[in-house]
Amino acid sequence: MKRILIPTDFSKNSHNAINYGLELFKKTKCIFYIINISPIPPYSGAGTSVKGSSVMLKETVLTQSKKDLKKLLAYIEEHHKNELHSFVSTAKYDFFTDAIKREVEDKKIDLIIMGTKGASGLKKVAMGSNTGDVITKVKCPLLAVPENSIYRRLKEIAFPTDFHIAYDIKVLDTLIEMASLNNSILRVVHISKKGEILTEEQMRNKDFLHDYLRGIDHSFHTLTGTKLETSIQCFSESRDIDLMAMVAKNLNYFQRILFTPTVEEISYHTDIPFLVLHE
């Protein structure tokens, strides 16, 4: 059984992430942990009167959160009834990333699904929003679903890499599982500068990847371009990519693709979900 954690703040984009996850794993036996985390305000903990009011605030906030979670589960029951899926909802009053980290450890979570708010949301990720913090601080595969993403079968998955890192088997197994689940073709994309050739180490990593992906329909693509972001954009648009998968260990590379400074350059990300792989 797959154990999936979906944080929600009851917004449109977190709602969309839930819909996307339920559709994606429609034919898989899953337990979904839906969690709402009300953040602890930074002033809590000083002085008796502040402590008293913060306890009252916590109780009020958690009562409302439990009501909203109940409504959300009723919506899921009505619109996504599926015998393969079961749900556990939790309301927490905590620091966001710490709470997620604990849930992942306690519940042995296989995947986190989170909504992101389009281009401006991804810009915020660079500045340390919840999704960005979870990507960098919680070692668990994460599927970031932009608010405009509508689920369709993942026919093609792009896997940008520079071949500089040796891949952990666990990382590749998550990728293979996602491709098998959707009968997807995996496109391994390497962007090189003009005239640049792979080093021996890069060739070894590429050969290993090719061997390990033997059971999956996959192909290797080399793009020559000076700008990583633009090359990835052209590739995703020309192939009509449904999912972008990346290894968090390759964070530098990853951040250049995800956190482009200008809205124009980043606009193509608004509809393509990102799967962040952790070792």
Looking at the predicted structure, is the pLDDT value of residue 108 above 70?
Answer: yes
Residue whose entry in the numeric block shows the structure tokens 């953040």: 39
Q: What homologous superfamily does CATH list for 2-146?
A: HUPs (3.40.50.620)
* Per-residue confidence (pLDDT) for residue 224, from 0 to 100: 80
What percent of the chain lies above the pLDDT cut of 70?
82
* Per-residue confidence (pLDDT) for residue 259, from 0 to 100: 52
Least confident stretch, 22-26, 27-31, 117-121, 131-135: 117-121
Whether the CB-CB separation of 113 and 141 falls below 8 Å is answered with no
Q: Please, which pLDDT band fits residue 4 given cuts at 50, 70 and 90?
A: very high
CATH fold match for the domains 2-146 and 156-273: yes
Instruction: Select, from the ranges 101-105, 126-130, 168-172, the one with the highest average predicted confidence (pLDDT).
Output: 101-105
Please state the domain extents for the chain: 2-146, 156-273
Instruction: Return the bridge partners of 112, or none.
Output: 5, 142
pTM over 0.85: yes
CA distance 188 to 174: 15
What percent of the chain lies above the pLDDT cut of 90?
52
Least confident stretch, 36-40, 81-85, 263-267, 270-274: 263-267
CA distance 52 to 48: 6
Whether the CB-CB separation of 222 and 160 falls below 8 Å is answered with no
Looking at the predicted structure, is the pLDDT value of residue 13 above 50?
Answer: yes
What value does the CA radius of gyration of the chain take, rounded to a whole number of Å?
A: 20
Residue range 53-59: mean pLDDT, rounded? 81
Q: Own/partner pairs for 199-203, CB < 8 Å, 24+ apart? A: 201/163, 201/164, 202/162, 202/163, 202/164, 203/163
* Tokens read off for 56: 């009252």
Q: Please, which pLDDT band fits residue 122 given cuts at 50, 70 and 90?
A: very low
Backbone dihedral angles phi then psi of residue 4, each to the nearest 5 degrees:
-120, 130
Q: Please, which pLDDT band fits residue 148 given cuts at 50, 70 and 90?
A: confident
CATH architecture of 156-273: 3-Layer(aba) Sandwich (3.40)
* Per-residue confidence (pLDDT) for residue 70, from 0 to 100: 97
Looking at the predicted structure, is the pLDDT value of residue 119 above 60?
Answer: no
In b/e form, how buried is each residue of 62-91, taking b as 16+ CB within 10 angstroms?
A: eeebeebbeebeeebeeebebeebebebbb
Question: Which residue type does 208 have?
Answer: F
Q: Please, which pLDDT band fits residue 240 given cuts at 50, 70 and 90?
A: confident
* Per-residue confidence (pLDDT) for residue 48, from 0 to 100: 54
Best CA proximity match to 279, nearest among 95, 138, 75, 103:
138
